[in-house]
Chain A
Amino acid sequence: MTHAPELADRLAEVVGPRGVLRRPAELVVYRSDGLPGYSKHPRLAVFPRTRDELISVVRLLAEQGVPFVPRGAGTGLSGGALADDVVLVGLNRLTRILSIDPVERLAVVEPGVVNVALTRAATPYGLHYAPDPSSQAACTIGGNVAENAGGPHCLKYGVTLNHVRAVTAILPNGEIVRLGNAEGEADGYDLLGAFIGSEGCFGIALEITVRLSPNPQAIRTLLADFTSVDAAARATSEIIASGIVPAALEMMDGATIRAVEASIYAAGYPVDAEAILLIELDGLEAGLEADVARIEAMCATAGARTVRVARDDAERARLWQGRKKAFGAMGRVSSHLVVQDAVIPRTRLPDVLATIHEIAQRQRITVCNVFHAGDGNLHPNIGYDANDPDEQARVQAAMREIMAACVAAGGTITGEHGIGLDKIEYMNLIFSDESLAAMCRLRDVFDPERRANPGKVVPVHSCREWHGAPRAAWSA
């Protein structure tokens, strides 16, 4: 019988006394992640400083049969890093970039390396790390791997899955495995592909080998403004159907534009527009202007008032800052913000956006749309006051309706934020019981005791989920 205080002491022997948080007051900040409206209390939190400490921590937890939740920067938007009365393993101190190889165009990093820090380190070589979630200034590569994170530029360059070559992971039982092959083609089952996006349920990455991409020779960033969301949606569908693959194709609606322009992130967006498209083309200098001209024409045909091309890097950076900080800017509008995530076929953008608008009106809530239009990845964001039970109930009802509408349009319930805790209830909208059971069996291969991130991703009834730690007699 290991009681919590004793476990904390034993963990402190591994990571030092300051690496373990056990008092409720110290743990307050770890009661939530990027998903509002939930508060879960970790029993304690442990912060290894090195790979060896992390291995010792996981092995100690395995020995004791204690469930745990891995956590990167806690920026996740689906509640994946919430720890409900279990141990939280914080990975944000494992921040070393172990190597950058400009010839192989590979970097090896620890899981706590911040996304943008890697790109910064690769810049002297003319390289960058392509997946760029909006939270890239804070989120970690380890968290990105767990969530299979995306970002605006994933339209052309692919998501995290397409940029990870190999992972050395520690499984929940303490076993260390190498997944993928950084030195050639991978063979056998795609264990790496299964691990990426497993939301911390399969183990913890100790070391991640990622591809670095050469910076494009030329970039053009366009801002097209529209007097209706519908016109911008139609322009998006046209551009995608044309076969041109922009590096990014983002949409922001009027409410979002005005929130951004009223904030410190003002980007010079036209405040009287009902929608803007931020379109980036990149690649070889030659031929880029021809594609710019085609896209300008398509936007104009769809009803754009103006299409302007950023004149220089400063203007381009400013246009992007408005987009990436839009979620922050919405903090001005309301006290809480749900950043939703769903994907629809791209031809369905106009009608699904109209449906979302109708749902918002009927439920008397405010929805701001800022999203990756190019791949149909919607982010309907709902600002509300979580202390108002009536409003909270309407927000929940609206979210369910929005998810149902996206699924009905042939889409899915998450494109890049993960299932976590927030989306579990929607899983059976898109997967049969047999598919969910198969996912559970896959999880059991990596973690038969289901101690890693218990209660996440797959609904309880499908997995006959963890009902309290089986061997964990550590409850006081």
Chain B
Amino acid sequence: MARRTEGGVERVTASPANAGSRGAFAETAGASAMPSHTTLRPTSVAEAREIVRDAMTHNTPLRIVGRGTWLGAGRPVGATRHVSLEGLTGIVDYTPGDLTLTARAGTTLADIARATAVHGQWLALVPWGGDAGSLGATVATATAGPVGDGLGSPRDVVIGLEAVAGSGEVVRGGGRVVKNVAGFDLTRLMVGAWGTLGILTEISVRLRGLPECETTLAFPVPNASAPLAGFVTRLRSAAIAPLALEILSARLSAQLGLGESGVVIARLAGNADAVAAQRDALAALGDVAEVTGDVWTALRTADPTDATVVRFSSQVARFPELWLAAERLVAAGGGHAHASVLRSSARVVLPHNAGAPSEAALELLRGGSRDTRIFERLPTTLWPVLAPSRVTDRLSQGIRNAFDPHRLLNPGILGETQA
């Protein structure tokens, strides 16, 4: 790997062999097929802007890779220049009494967790893949892990941000206070845009106090539709306010050491009285066991590398159907599944090494039902078969044109036609 510094921008030329050697979810399987690329590492917003302006001048698209821990996500991006945010790190502003924090986009979630834990606080964004990833990637992909049930998604947690738009301008939305309606909402626009409107450079978030007490309970689930429906109804009407309530397929619960059949795990938090009362409320529903809170970390990092990951979501009333469909898919594809009971959103993880999904599995992946499907990670072979475009409507196209008129940022990642 060759490194040189040019105008404050470190350039790393990665050869295919060592491309994406970082992180638990580095690009590995596709590495041999990857063309060699240049990695740019801005260390300031000014450098990030220079990179975009240079890309405009030379009409060379950019692949924004964050910290490079989740490169398999999304769809193919035709860019030989990668922009790593590993050099754009650090907490810019943190006043614990305000319960807000501003950090540069490349800051790892682990660094934020360490800094806030000292003050009994946390950033309640616990996306899939662990804490080695960056705040910027979490926000750009709007990834919310199980605690999104109780504490909201990046859309709810982000209070302001700064980005270098594809037009070469530095734009800011929101601010550093928890309530703000000044101006049109550039913040919401950038959250979940997968870097296609701007390279996120700085993000402000709201924090929460760490709960006084926390416990995780597991209990077995019925594996037929009708009993499952009744069970879910009882869960939803129980006197609990869980941070997360996740149902796991049999294979996943075995992998996490929770037994051989499907379980529901509930993450309860609050003061001692509140946690005790919630535990009692759940115990009234069935055979409950207290398990270690580490299962949540294990769940976040349970995806095999280069898996196909699809999220299905539906109306709450259709949750039993949704879950049974997810289980059928897993049975056909050999992976695992889990779902948020409260949000009615299932995540199906099919290992790539299981070979091509069967026709039955493909049929389920394509949908055909009313469920909403979001492809989180999709191997190259499945791109042509399963890649409905996310942003083909006129308004979305207009927004892309307004912020990235030359289609320089992550072109193709949303399944849109490459310019």
Contacts and interface: CB of A to CB of B under 8 A. Distances in A.
Contacts of A377: 179
Given A184-B345, A237-B97, A283-B241, A439 B186 contact: yes
A343 B180 contact: yes
Nearest to B160: A412
A410 B179 CA distance: 12
A419 B395 CA distance: 24
Interface string A422-434: 0100010011101
Interface stretch (B283-291, B329-337, B366-374): B366-374
Contact of A189 (B96, B181, B189): B189
B396 A162 contact: no
B192 to A, nearest CB: 6
Contact of B273 (A154, A286, A412, A446): A286
Question: Is the contact region of chain A dominated by helix, strand, or loop, or is it mixed?
Answer: loop
A419 B399 contact: no
Contacts of B193: 189-190
Interface residues of A, number: 83
A57 B400 CA distance: 30
Point out which of B171, B181, B316, B317 has the most chain A C-beta atoms below 10 A from its C-beta.
B181
B317 A104 contact: yes
Interface in B370-401: 370-372, 374, 390-391, 393-396, 398-399, 401
Interface stretch (B2-10, B60-68, B274-282, B352-360): B274-282
A162 B274 CA distance: 25
Interface stretch (B22-30, B83-91, B307-315): B307-315
A188 B156 CA distance: 16
Interface in A397-426: 410-419, 423
A427 B270 CA distance: 40
B277 A286 contact: yes
Interface in B147-198: 152, 155-156, 165, 169-173, 175-186, 188-189, 191-193, 197
Contacts of A427: 182-183
B120 interface: yes
Contacts, number: 237
Interface stretch (A193-201, A253-261, A303-311, A383-391): A193-201
Contacts of A185: 311, 313, 343, 345, 372, 374
B239 A217 contact: yes
B174 to A, nearest CB: 8
A243 B239 contact: no
Contacts of A105: 316
Contacts of B275: 287
A344 B313 CA distance: 38
B57 interface: no
Given A183-B372, A187-B390, A194-B184, A243 B189 contact: no
Nearest to A446: B395
B391 A439 contact: no
A306 B313 CA distance: 50
Contact of A410 (B97, B176, B240, B274): B176
A174 interface: no
Point out which of B189, B239, B403 has the most chain A C-beta atoms below 10 A from its C-beta.
B189
Contacts of B399: 189, 191, 194, 442, 445
Contacts of A242: 209
A328 interface: no
Given A183-B370, A185-B372, A415 B180 contact: yes
B181 A430 contact: no
Contact of A347 (B98, B169, B197, B316): B98
A435 B172 contact: yes
Contacts of B199: none
A469 interface: no
B263 interface: no
Given A193-B185, A435-B186, A346 B175 contact: no
Contacts of A411: 175, 177
B396 A191 contact: yes
Interface in B88-102: 95-100
A193 B155 contact: yes
Contact of A188 (B172, B344, B391, B398): B391
A436 B193 CA distance: 20
B177 A284 contact: no
Interface string A100-129: 000111000000000000000000000000
B97 A190 contact: no
Point out which of B184, B370, B395 has the most chain A C-beta atoms below 10 A from its C-beta.
B184
A431 B183 contact: yes
B210 interface: yes
A438 B95 contact: no
Contact of B152 (A158, A376, A418, A438): A158
A197 B183 CA distance: 8
Contacts of B314: 183-184
Contact of B414 (A147, A188, A438): A188
A296 interface: no
Given A188-B390, A189-B399, A443-B184, A344 B177 contact: yes
Contacts of A285: 239, 277
Given A375-B179, A435-B172, A184 B371 contact: yes
A442 B402 contact: yes
Contacts of A446: 395
B121 interface: yes
Contacts of B391: 188-189
B183 A291 contact: no
B271 interface: yes
A284 B241 contact: yes
B183 A284 contact: no
A226 B330 CA distance: 61
A57 B121 CA distance: 52
Given A158-B152, A287-B277, A430 B182 contact: yes
B196 to A, nearest CB: 8
Contacts of B276: 286
Interface in A179-219: 181, 183-185, 187-191, 193-194, 196-198, 201, 217
A148 interface: yes
A82 interface: no
A442 to B, nearest CB: 5
Contacts of B189: 189-190, 193-194, 442
B97 A441 contact: no
Contacts of B95: 345, 347
B208 interface: yes
Given A189-B395, A291-B271, A345-B95, 17 more contacts: A104-B316, A159-B181, A183-B314, A188-B393, A198-B184, A242-B209, A286-B276, A287-B270, A290-B274, A343-B178, A345-B98, A412-B180, A417-B181, A419-B183, A442-B189, A444-B398, A458-B183
Please provide the 4 A-B residue pairs with the shortest distance between their CB atoms, ordered closest to farther: A243-B209, A193-B188, A287-B274, A286-B277
Interface of A: 103-105, 147-148, 150, 154, 158-159, 161-162, 175, 177, 181, 183-185, 187-191, 193-194, 196-198, 201, 217, 237, 240-245, 283-291, 343-347, 372, 375-377, 410-419, 423, 427, 430-432, 434-439, 441-446, 457-458
22 contacts: A175-B394, A181-B372, A188-B414, A193-B189, A194-B399, A197-B185, A243-B208, A243-B209, A283-B241, A284-B270, A284-B274, A284-B278, A285-B239, A286-B274, A287-B271, A287-B272, A287-B273, A343-B175, A343-B180, A347-B95, A410-B177, A446-B395
